[in-house]
A = this chain, B = another copy of it.
Amino acid sequence: MIASGPRPTVTRTAVALVSDQFLTREALAELVAGDEELESLGAAASPADAELFLSDPRLQVLLVNLSLAGSPGAAAPGVAFIRTAKTRRPDVGVLSLKRGVDELLLRAALDAGADACCLVTTPFDRIQQAIKAVAAGATWLDAEISQVLLHPRASFDAAHLSPRERDILRLIVDGYSNAEIAAQLGSAQATIHTHVIRLFRKLGVNDRVTAAVRALRAGIV
């Protein structure tokens, strides 16, 4: 094992940042400049401009502002950029900055390969910590974000669902049929069927697909 002691500042972590918002770019640049263990390779305003960084062998961590404006219909360009970046440079850590805790966008970012998610409201020193976490190959999730993604129990109370209905909703999202749910919960199919119907009434839906989508979008599951 390696003793930890005071870290030599010889090897600095090389960071590049991508954001379409001027203010964010400035703030992030200041953030990187304010930490002697970090080193900036530059800032880009668009994914296209950021292509350059991907060719830089020194690059270790990429800061991406996911609120990159995009057409509402198509997939978010920020997510697409993360995917291409991770495809071309799997060794580079990606930290994505989020304005809010939209679960779908978060999952999309992580699925695309993001190694960390921070909110833009996160204090500087924590983002600096997160950058180092990413450089170490680890995953960093801000408290608010991990609450949504990993500890969904907290937001479970959002809907006025009974515990049993929440169990079933979760299993519906997991793609199980009524029969499979019955087997897993040790109940009869008829019971599950009743629960499912009542669950639909409470969610205001008529089929399990919309129930699952609503649950995901609402962060219930």
Q: Interface-forming stretch among A12-20, A43-51, A128-136, A187-195?
A: A128-136
Select which of B1, B27, B139 is within 8 A of A143 by beta carbon: B139
Q: Which residues of B contact A143 (CB under 8 A)?
A: 136-139
Copies in the complex: 2
Q: Which residues of B contact A173 (CB under 8 A)?
A: 209, 213
Per the 8 Å Cβ criterion, residues 89-126 of A in contact with B are 104-105, 107-113, 115, 123-126
| Given known A-B contacts A129-B136, A138-B140, A141-B139, A151 and B111 have beta carbons under 8 A apart | yes
- Chain B residues with CB under 8 Å of A110's CB are 150-151
A interface, size bucket: 35 or more
Q: A4: CB under 8 A from chain B?
A: yes
Closest to A30 in B: B1
Partner of A138, one of B105, B142, B156: B142
Q: What's the Cα separation between A133 and B138 when bound, in Å?
A: 11
A151 and B212 form a contact (CB under 8 A): no
Residues of B within 8 A of A31 (CB): 4
| Complex: A220 Cα to B175 Cα, angstroms | 18
B133 near A219: Cβ-Cβ < 8 Å: no
A69 within 8 A of B: no
The answer to whether B111 touches A218 (Cβ under 8 A) is yes
Q: Which of B1, B5, B210, B213 contacts A123 (CB 8 A)?
A: B1
Cβ of A108 and Cβ of B219 under 8 Å apart?
Answer: yes
Given contacts A151-B111, A207-B175, A138 and B126 within 8 Å (CB-CB): yes
Partner of A205, one of B129, B175, B177: B175
A213 to B210, Cβ gap below 8 A? no
- Asked if A179 lies at the interface with its beta carbon under 8 angstroms from chain B, I say no
A150 to chain B, nearest CB (A): 5
9 nearest CB pairs, A to B? A108-B219, A175-B210, A139-B146, A137-B143, A139-B141, A4-B125, A110-B150, A107-B217, A79-B219
Q: Is the CB of B107 within 8 A of A219?
A: yes
Q: Nearest Cβ distance between residue A170 and chain B, in whole angstroms?
A: 9
